[in-house]
Structure 1
Amino acid sequence: MSDSNAPEHLDAKHERNRQQRIEGIKRWVEYIKSESPETWGSQQNAVVNDQLDAAQSVQTSASHQQHVKDVAAEIIEASSESDAESK
């Protein structure tokens, strides 16, 4: 059995994961648009605080940090495009 298509399989998995994260973010945006800040504010704070704690407990490389920034920029760009289309 050859590993020749292992990189393609991994790339496809990463893309699926990325798309799932983006869809989750879109669902969250819809949720916060439909609920008051009093409802979702503490939930969002808990998620952010947990992620900050996790990030601080793990040492990451500069290239991984850059990758995270790049993904965040893509999400912001997609969100901006979505907002512009809905207006």
Structure 2
Amino acid sequence: MPDSNVPDDLDAKHARNREQRIAAIKRWVAYIESEPPEKWGPQQNAVVNDQLEAAQRVQTSAAHKQHVTDVAADIADAAADTDDT
């Protein structure tokens, strides 16, 4: 008997996860708009530093590292383009 509900369940889970991530981002934006950078800046730095340390502990291929570098460059370019306008 095929398990036809599995893709639907997975799609629903992905949708819920996406909604939760968007809600968390909105809460973070509201927080940084209501608080001075001196308060939230160190918090954000701690999160980013922890993520970097975790990423450094994971063994990744050169191709993946290059992909991440390329994506970061694309994001930086897009941000620079919006800053220029």
Task: Give 3-state SS (helix, strand or coil) of 2:4's partner.
Answer: coil
- Residue-pair matches, total: 66
Residue in 2 aligned with 1:14?
Answer: 14
* TM-score (ref. length: structure 2): 0.63
Unmatched 5+ stretches in structure 1:
74-87
Residue in 2 aligned with 1:52?
Answer: 52
Larger of the two Rg values belongs to structure:
2
Identical aligned residues as a percent? 70
What RMSD in Å do the two structures reach over aligned CA positions? 2.5
Q: Whole-Å Cα distance in 1 between the matches of residues 27 and 52 of structure 2?
A: 21
Larger RCO, structures 1/2 (Cα 8 Å, 6+ apart): 1
Superposed, 1:17-28 pairs within 5 Å as 17-28=17-28
Residue in 2 aligned with 1:33?
Answer: 33
Q: Whole-Å Cα distance in 2 between the matches of residues 38 and 54 of structure 1?
A: 25
Residue in 1 aligned with 2:5?
Answer: 5
Q: Whole-Å Cα distance in 2 between the matches of residues 20 and 48 of structure 1?
A: 20
* TM-score (ref. length: structure 1): 0.62
Unmatched 5+ stretches in structure 2:
76-85
Question: Structure 1 runs of 4+ off > 6 angstroms?
Answer: none
TM-aligned CA deviation for residue 55 of structure 1? 2.5
